[in-house]
């Protein structure tokens, strides 16, 4: 959804909320909104404004209804790994995530890894959120992780990997053992 669509949707939701609040006020016994509405319909120019506002709200409601029912599958992102005379070869991002996870788990001390990536013209940008074993030297571990993942992805897929960001999200805590 574009920024313009989000802004129009927010405005539409605000208008509907105001109309609902006015309806609730009327059902609670406050007659001022009804009086204002009745007075606005007595003059032709006010009726025209009310009709235009109602038509715009109706069209916006239809537009957002149609947009919500238009269910298209999001296009799966891919990275091109080979472009030759016979055609294009690409790899899907979930497959790349599996490769990154496999490479990261080969580094001693990495317990969990959650990769995210962007495919740019200059190559693959990786962000790794990891959980590590306790009592590890984190600078050495993250450097080894970056080197291993870089080597594995370049060797396996042929993709350039100009950047690998590593974020240590947690230290793995083994469960306490009970002594009976």
CA dist list (Å): 141 to 26, 27, 40, 63: 66, 65, 72, 52
- Say what the pLDDT of residue 9 is: 86
Segments forming the whole domain that contains residue 64: 3-69
Task: Tell me: do 100 and 64 sit in the same domain.
Answer: no
**16 lies in the same domain as 63:** yes
pLDDT at residue 176 in the model: 55
Q: Report pLDDT for 15.
A: 85
**Low-confidence residues of the chain: pLDDT under 50:** none
Kindly report the CATH number assigned to the domain that includes residue 138. 3.30.70.1350
Per the structure block, which two tokens stand in for 2?
Answer: 């574009």
> Under the phi-then-psi rule, with left for phi > 0, alpha for psi from -120 to 50, and beta for the rest, what region is 40?
alpha
The answer on 102 and 48 residing in a single domain is: no
Place of tokens 């799966």: 76
* Same domain flag for 104 and 165: yes
Helix H or strand E segment including 37: helix 32-40
Extract the tokens encoding 76: 């799966």
* Structural domain includes residue 83: no
Helices (H), 90-167: 93-105, 138-157
Q: Whole-angstrom Cα distance, residue 89 to residue 62? A: 42
Would 82 be classed as within a structural domain? no
What DSSP state is assigned to residue 120? Answer: E
pLDDT at 73: 63
Residue-wise pLDDT for 27-53, tens only, equals 999 888 888 888 878 888 888 888 888
Query: Per the domain annotation, does 81 fall within a domain?
Result: no
> Would residue 41 count as lying in a domain?
yes
Q: Is residue 78 part of a domain?
A: no
Q: Count how many domains the chain has.
A: 2
Same domain, 100 and 155: yes
- Structure confidence at residue 95 (pLDDT): 92
Task: Based on the fold, state whether residues 59 and 106 are members of the same structural domain.
Answer: no
């Amino acid at each position: 959804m574009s920024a313009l669509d989000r802004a129009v949707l927010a405005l539409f939701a605000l208008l509907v909320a105001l109309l609902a609040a006015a309806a609730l006020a009327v059902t609670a016994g406050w007659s001022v909104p009804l009086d204002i509405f009745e007075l606005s319909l007595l003059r032709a120019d006010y009726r025209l404004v009310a009709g235009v506002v109602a038509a715009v709200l109706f069209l916006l409601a239809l537009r957002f209804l149609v947009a919500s029912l238009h269910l298209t599958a999001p296009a799966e992102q891919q990275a091109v790994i080979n472009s030759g005379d016979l055609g294009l070869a690409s790899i899907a991002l979930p497959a790349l995530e599996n490769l990154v996870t496999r490479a990261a788990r080969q580094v001693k001390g990495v317990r969990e890894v959650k990769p995210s990536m962007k495919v740019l013209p200059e190559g693959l940008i990786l962000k790794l959120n990891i959980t590590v074993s306790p009592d590890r030297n984190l600078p050495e571990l993250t450097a080894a992780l970056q080197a291993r993942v870089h080597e594995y992805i370049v060797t396996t897929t042929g993709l350039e990997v100009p950047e690998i960001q590593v974020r240590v999200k947690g230290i793995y805590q083994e469960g306490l053992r009970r002594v009976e």
